[in-house]
């Protein structure tokens, strides 16, 4: 009996696995960098409108779409099943909260609970879209 089956993965298999993981995470990582950069640059103040009880911030669409896309890209790595989608949403929400915390130290930015909430809505929406698309892509009659 050979010892090669008992020793775990070979060096070549470990390198291949690391390269595969890096390749799978690259789109999500690259997009996260874009979101981070967009989150720390100065943003011109929006024009002052009247006070509204529930208003939509000019940046809300960017938060919604950005974190939906981020969660969807993370779901490509974590999987399209229930657990994978929850992990994808949690990663995107955690990243968004980290970005908000980072903004505390930037003079022209501020921490905003509202942005964290909108990020979470976007991340949840992104995983729901992935889930719906995965459901449609599944065969109607699974093989016996």
Kindly state the percentage of the chain with pLDDT values over 90.
65
Condensed to tens digits (0 to 9), the pLDDT of residues 117-126 reads 999 999 999 9
- The full length of the chain comes to 144
Distance of CA 71 to the CA centre of its chain: 3
Q: Is residue 48 part of a domain?
A: no
Q: What is the pTM of this model?
A: 0.77
- The tally of domains found in the chain comes to 1
Domain hosting 72: range is 60-137
Query: Up-side HSE of residue 1: CA atoms within 13 Å toward CB?
Result: 4
Split at pLDDT 50, 70, 90, the class of 56 is: confident
Q: Is residue 117 part of a domain?
A: yes
Q: Is residue 17 part of a domain?
A: no
Condensed to tens digits (0 to 9), the pLDDT of residues 62-84 reads 999 999 999 999 999 999 999 99
Q: Is residue 51 part of a domain?
A: no
Condensed to tens digits (0 to 9), the pLDDT of residues 99-118 reads 999 999 999 999 999 999 99
Q: Is residue 105 part of a domain?
A: yes
């Amino acid at each position: 009996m050979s010892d090669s089956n008992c020793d775990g993965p070979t060096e070549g298999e470990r390198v291949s696995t690391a390269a595969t993981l890096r390749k799978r995470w690259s789109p999500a990582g690259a997009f996260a960098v874009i979101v981070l950069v967009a989150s720390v640059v100065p943003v011109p103040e929006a024009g002052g409108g009247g006070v509204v009880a529930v208003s939509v911030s000019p940046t809300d669409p960017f938060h919604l779409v950005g974190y939906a896309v981020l969660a969807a890209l993370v779901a490509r790595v974590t999987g399209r099943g229930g657990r994978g989608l929850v992990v994808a949403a949690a990663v995107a929400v955690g990243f968004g909260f980290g970005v908000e915390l980072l903004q505390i130290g930037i003079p022209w930015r501020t921490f905003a609970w509202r942005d964290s909430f909108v990020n979470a809505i976007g991340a949840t929406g992104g995983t729901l879209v992935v889930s719906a698309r995965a459901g449609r892509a599944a065969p109607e009659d699974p093989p016996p």
